[in-house]
Amino acid sequence: MAEFLKVLSAVLPVFLIALLGFQLRRMDWLTKAADDSLLKVSVNVLLPCLAFSNISNNPELLKPENVWLPPVIGFLSIGVGMAVGWLVRKFATGSTDAKGRTFAISIGVFNFGFVPIPLVASLFGESAVGVLFVFNVGTLLAMWSLGVMLLHGDLRTGLRKAINVPVVTVVAALVVNATGLHEYIPSLGQRHDQDAWPLRHPDVDPAHRRDGEGSLRRV
């Protein structure tokens, strides 16, 4: 029961935000004209920022198997799912028309972002979220290669679209993590924590702060 509540508390905010968005749209506070802009900002700005912050300075991604294996599994999971959907449609109806190919893609592509991110963070920790973003590189490549080829038969166009902001951000973050360049990137979170110390601990002399291990130190 405890694990169920933990999972529920992780994914419930995602669905509540989706429900809020639905209601705001019904009230016409979010208009149809805003949909495209919000999607572009979410996919090309907010999501890459989240990916970069979880990948850079991530010790789990210094392990080679956590860099090459997740994208391979991600690609294969989408590919196998599409193949299963295509075969089911073919044997059930004997048809592989446009509707059948769309069915195969719908079966193969699963939610690998907005729900898994808080779920992975809750169950496995923040470091695992960075591994999830690396996994998603494989899923995106499968969508833009196998998916586009199924729908249009044009692999070249799909591969061009596969080089997008989220994928480039993940690759750049992996380079930053591997080379140690993350040490030169200021951490706003840590700075904010230090500045908030006197407010949260008024009983402690402001000339003292906690170090990284939780003990007091003189500053």
* Token digits of residue 91: 């044997």
Q: Which of 141, 151, 30, 175 is nearest to 102 (CA)?
A: 151
pLDDT of residue 102: 86
Q: What single-letter DSSP state applies at residue 44?
A: I
Does the residue 216 lie in any domain? no
User: Are the C-beta atoms of residues 171 and 52 closer than 8 Å to each other?
Assistant: no
Does the residue 35 lie in any domain? no
Does the residue 41 lie in any domain? no
Does the residue 204 lie in any domain? no
Does the residue 18 lie in any domain? no
Does the residue 201 lie in any domain? no
Does the residue 5 lie in any domain? no
Does the residue 210 lie in any domain? no
Host domain of residue 170: 50-182
pLDDT of residue 138: 94
Among left, alpha and beta (phi > 0; psi -120 to 50; other), residue 204 is beta
Total number of domains in the chain:
1
pLDDT of residue 47: 93
Residues contacting residue 135 through CB under 8 Å, at least 6 positions apart? 70, 71, 73, 74, 112
Q: How many CA atoms lie within 13 A of 148 on its CB side?
A: 16
How does pLDDT run along the chain (219 residues), one tens digit per residue? 778 888 888 889 989 998 998 899 889 888 888 888 888 999 999 999 999 999 999 999 999 999 999 999 999 999 999 999 989 888 887 777 778 888 888 899 988 888 999 999 988 998 999 999 999 999 999 988 888 888 877 777 777 778 889 999 999 999 999 999 988 887 654 444 444 445 455 555 555 544 444 444 444
